[in-house]
Amino acid sequence: MILGRWVSFSCVNTPVNKVSDRRRHSEFRGLSSTTTCRPSLRLSCLKSKSTQETTQIEQLGNEQGFSVLASEVPWEDNNIWSTFVLYMFSLHIPLSFGGLSIVANILHQQVLDPQTQVLSLVVLQMVELSGTVLLLRTTAKPQCKSINFLKGNNESREGRNWVVGSALGLGCLVGFIFVTSLVADQLFGSKAVENSELKKIMVSGEVARSGCFALYCGVAPILEEIVYRRFLLTSLASRMEWWKALVISSGVFAAAHFSGEDFVQLFGIGCVIGSCYIWSGNLASSVLVHSLYNALTLLS
């Protein structure tokens, strides 16, 4: 009987246990579905919030400020200064400051005549330009090896006329040089600022004069704008605020001329020309201002 009662009890309670198990299973299943539903709902909310934040960031990014330079650049952040140092010591200093001595040794002349001097400078600057383009393409990211240096680096040029920007930049540059010259005359007294060597070359003949314009209004502006604006300024502006990048690149531009007495004016020139590039996003703007300023200097 006891056995029967246990059997009877077990037989009677078996459905109850099944029902209980089903209830428990359904409860756990319901609890499980609830717990999985809540994270899913929370995740969807996070995704929605993240999407809204991304949209807001994109909208803020689309609102153009002074700078239209893109945040993505062809060079890695950790290679910027090493590439620039390599350019300075392998190309700029040997060719710009030691190139004429090499030419004089090759021609077995102690002093080069003006025509040979200016033509040699044109060739040396073209060699430096070619080496610079090769260096910057070699150190660029793999997907950016065929970079067009004269195209610039911008997100949008809508409403930005680079010709108008160049005209405004040239006017600001001439005004800056005029004001700083007056201040320098008041502080240190007036003095002749003409370059006797350059003047001698300009009056030596048509070939030398044409070579000067080709050098200072063609090759040199393109070379310097590629190095200091297209490469250095663009790379720095992708890592910091544009005005900080402008100040640093302009300081480097002035220091690279190795002229202590002209550092302030060269720094200001770099700031004005760099601002033209930042505002327009087109390297043609800074090249044009640079070339026209040098042309005015040659004609003055």
234 and 168 in a common domain: yes
pLDDT, position 167: 95
Give per-residue pLDDT as tens, 84-137. 999 999 999 999 999 999 999 999 998 899 999 999 999 999 999 999 999 999
206 and 171 in a common domain: yes
| Structural domain harbouring 153 | 77-299
In a domain, residue 276? The reply is yes
Main-chain phi, psi angles of 231, to 5 degrees: -90, -65
8 and 151 in a common domain: no
pLDDT, position 60: 40
**284, 148 contact by CB (below 8 A):** no
> How far from the centroid of its chain's Cα atoms is residue 300's Cα?
33
243 and 121 in a common domain: yes
55 and 84 in a common domain: no
183 and 107 in a common domain: yes
252 and 147 in a common domain: yes
**249, 232 contact by CB (below 8 A):** yes
In a domain, residue 70? The reply is no
In a domain, residue 273? The reply is yes
> Last residue of a domain, which of 63, 87, 112?
63
129 and 47 in a common domain: no
pLDDT, position 144: 81
133 and 249 in a common domain: yes
In a domain, residue 71? The reply is no
pLDDT, position 227: 97
In a domain, residue 236? The reply is yes
Give per-residue pLDDT as tens, 256-277. 999 888 899 999 999 999 999 9
Could you tell me the two tokens for 273? 């020309």
pLDDT, position 155: 58
88 and 55 in a common domain: no
pLDDT, position 199: 83
Number of domains in the chain: 2
123 and 35 in a common domain: no
In a domain, residue 134? The reply is yes
In a domain, residue 68? The reply is no
128 and 207 in a common domain: yes
User: pLDDT 10s digit of each residue in the chain, 300 long?
Assistant: 433 443 333 333 434 444 444 444 444 334 444 444 444 434 444 334 444 443 443 444 444 588 988 888 889 989 999 999 999 999 999 999 999 999 999 999 988 999 999 999 999 999 999 999 999 999 998 888 777 777 666 655 555 888 999 999 999 999 999 999 898 888 877 665 557 778 888 888 899 999 999 999 999 999 999 999 999 999 999 999 999 999 999 999 999 999 888 899 999 999 999 999 999 989 999 999 999 999 999 998
Rounded to an integer, what distance in angstroms lies between the CA atom of residue 172 and that of residue 166?
10
